[in-house]
């Protein structure tokens, strides 16, 4: 399933992937801010998918680094 589809059907109580849960909650929080929701709605789906994927990779990378700390 595409990340955008997963985001659209996101349920924080059911999501098991911690990186996706963090990403989706942050994006959702930003969209709740006045003005941001309208901007997100104007972005085409392939770009939204790219934004989600790029940020998910960043979160996963930081989570891996954190796990490797002594």
Cα–Cα distance for residue pair 52/27, rounded to 1 Å: 9
Check residue 2 and give its pLDDT: 94
Each residue's pLDDT tens digit, 55-67 = 999 999 999 887 7
The DSSP call for residue 29 is H
- What is residue 65's predicted lDDT score, i.e. its pLDDT? 86
- What global pTM score does this model have? 0.84
Q: Kind and range of the H or E element at 43?
A: none
Specify whether the CB–CB gap between 19 and 63 falls below 8 A: yes
Q: What is the pLDDT of residues 13-51, one digit of tens each?
A: 899 999 999 999 999 999 888 888 789 989 999 999 999
Q: Is the dihedral of CA 7, 13, 16, 20 positive or negative?
A: positive
Domain-by-domain residue ranges, the chain? 17-67
> Structure tokens of 16?
């098991």
């Amino acid at each position: 399933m595409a990340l955008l589809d997963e985001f659209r059907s996101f349920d924080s109580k059911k999501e098991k992937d911690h990186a996706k849960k963090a990403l989706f909650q942050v994006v959702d929080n930003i969209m709740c801010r006045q003005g941001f929701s309208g901007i997100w709605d104007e972005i085409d789906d392939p770009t939204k998918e790219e934004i989600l994927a790029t940020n998910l990779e960043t979160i996963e990378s930081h989570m891996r680094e954190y796990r490797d700390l002594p």
